Amino acid sequence: MTLAPFACDPAFSRGRRFAEIPAPTRTDYQRDRDRIVHSSAFRRLVYKTQVFLNHEGDLFRTRLTHSLEVAQLGRSVARTLGLNEDLVEAIALAHDLGHTPFGHAGQDALNDCMAEHGGFEHNLQSLRVVDELEERYPDFNGLNLTFETREGILKHCSASNALALEASEPGGVAQRFLPPATPDAVRLQPSLEAQLCNLADEISYNAHDIDDGVRSGLITLEQLREVELFESFRMQAMVKHPQLGDDSQGRRLLYDTIRRMLSAQVYDVIEATRNALSKATPGDADEARRAGPLLCFSANMRNQSSMLKRFLYQNLYRHPQVVQTTDQAKQVVRDLFEFFMHHPRSLQAGFSARAQALQAADTTGRARVVADYIAGMTDRFAMHQHRHLTGKVLSETQN
């Protein structure tokens, strides 16, 4: 792999929190990737969802397939730009590890439950998973990943949480979220590899949510014609393959349109980023961090992608059928939170031990243990626990 000068090079990694002997056959980023793939949290992604719940169909994306799509897309852009593919892959595979069951609904509900205890942020939770919650190594908690992978995982962080993180790791991954020392101080970006993962995330969920949305019947190809980005490639597909308009062709028109749309976005990112890089000319990865966001869409594609996002928000994520199931999902999370706050001994062994080690009056400490436990649940485990512990049956569809 030939790295561009502005790529992250494992030889210059800022290293791990606990020093380790380098692996003989793998770079540090490859080792990070392997640790993530072997983690329990990674395996649970298969039963966690984004928009649709697991029981609604076997063909919808899960967080696992989403993460694989982000890694694939990110790697192919990284290869073209001379960025570090292994680092991109590690960040992409880890970026959703901290997500709660039931997608954004679960996260909102858990954040509400945690309102008086520091809140709940899924990016910070992904970092907690790899820093604290995985218990696999004799000498430390977590996976002890490199700074660069952890930096990419912490995509956003509130100022208050950044302060707390900074206290335990001065000058670490939270530093760039602290209020700037002077008003004109440069706001640091994460590495270009991390910036790429953010954009690959956006490109992939926009595309696969169209796919899942149409297959679920909640949005139609007809409705999508109002989205310029989709419509222009649908027309292109029809010109090239007029037979795709025929019903007998099934979803080939949808897939061909999405494929064209994906390619156009990837080429756009590559070109716009090359332009930004040739203006900024960062000489190394740290100069790239100081140069403002460089990994980007062109202005036109940024606009088109935002319009597509808006369409999906209005027509899919806020669809009454989606809202109904997400309301039930929120109820499950709230009930579980309340139950475990009152019955911390019912938490799984490791969590229960953590809760029992706390002072009885330390409700914030207990709330964090409960939040960690619930956040780690898969959709179906949360449903099962809810039924088992509360005896409530929410609806027929939730089997």
| Interface ranges with Mg ion (CB under 5 A) | 96, 201
Pick between residue 65 and residue 306 the one whose CB is nearest to Mg ion. Answer: 65
CB of 101 to Mg ion, least distance (A): 15
The amino acid occupying position 156 is H
Q: Could you give the CA distance from residue 256 to residue 245 in angstroms, rounded to a whole number?
A: 12
Of 238, 297, 232, which Cα lies nearest the Cα of 271? 297
Pick between residue 17 and residue 104 the one whose CB is nearest to Mg ion. Answer: 104
Q: What is the DSSP string of 111-140?
A: HHHTGGGT---HHHHHHHIIIII----SS-
Q: What is the DSSP string of 134-170?
A: ----SS-SS---BHHHHHHH-----HHHHHHHHHHST
Pick between residue 151 and residue 201 the one whose CB is nearest to Mg ion. Answer: 201
CB of 336 to Mg ion, least distance (A): 24
383 with 398: CB under 8 angstroms? Answer: yes
Pick between residue 16 and residue 61 the one whose CB is nearest to Mg ion. Answer: 61
CB of 252 to Mg ion, least distance (A): 27
Quick one: how far is CA 51 from the chain centroid? Answer: 13
CB of 206 to Mg ion, least distance (A): 11
Pick between residue 64 and residue 270 the one whose CB is nearest to Mg ion. Answer: 64
CB of 280 to Mg ion, least distance (A): 27
Please give the C-alpha separations between residue 363 and each of 101, 113, 133, 338, 344, in angstroms, as whole numbers: 23, 12, 19, 12, 11
CB of 99 to Mg ion, least distance (A): 8
Residues 157-190: b if buried by 16+ CB within 10 A, e if exposed: beeebbeebbeeeeebbbebbeeeeeeeeeebbb
Q: Could you give the CA distance from residue 34 to residue 232 in angstroms, rounded to a whole number?
A: 40
CB of 25 to Mg ion, least distance (A): 30
For helices 349-356 and 363-376, angle between their N-to-C axes, nearest 10 degrees: 170
End-to-end CA distance of the chain: 48
Pick between residue 91 and residue 110 the one whose CB is nearest to Mg ion. Answer: 91
CB of 197 to Mg ion, least distance (A): 9
The amino acid occupying position 331 is Q
Q: Could you give the CA distance from residue 234 to residue 336 in angstroms, rounded to a whole number?
A: 45
Pick between residue 201 and residue 256 the one whose CB is nearest to Mg ion. Answer: 201
Comparing every residue's Cβ against Mg ion, the nearest one is 201
Pick between residue 96 and residue 131 the one whose CB is nearest to Mg ion. Answer: 96
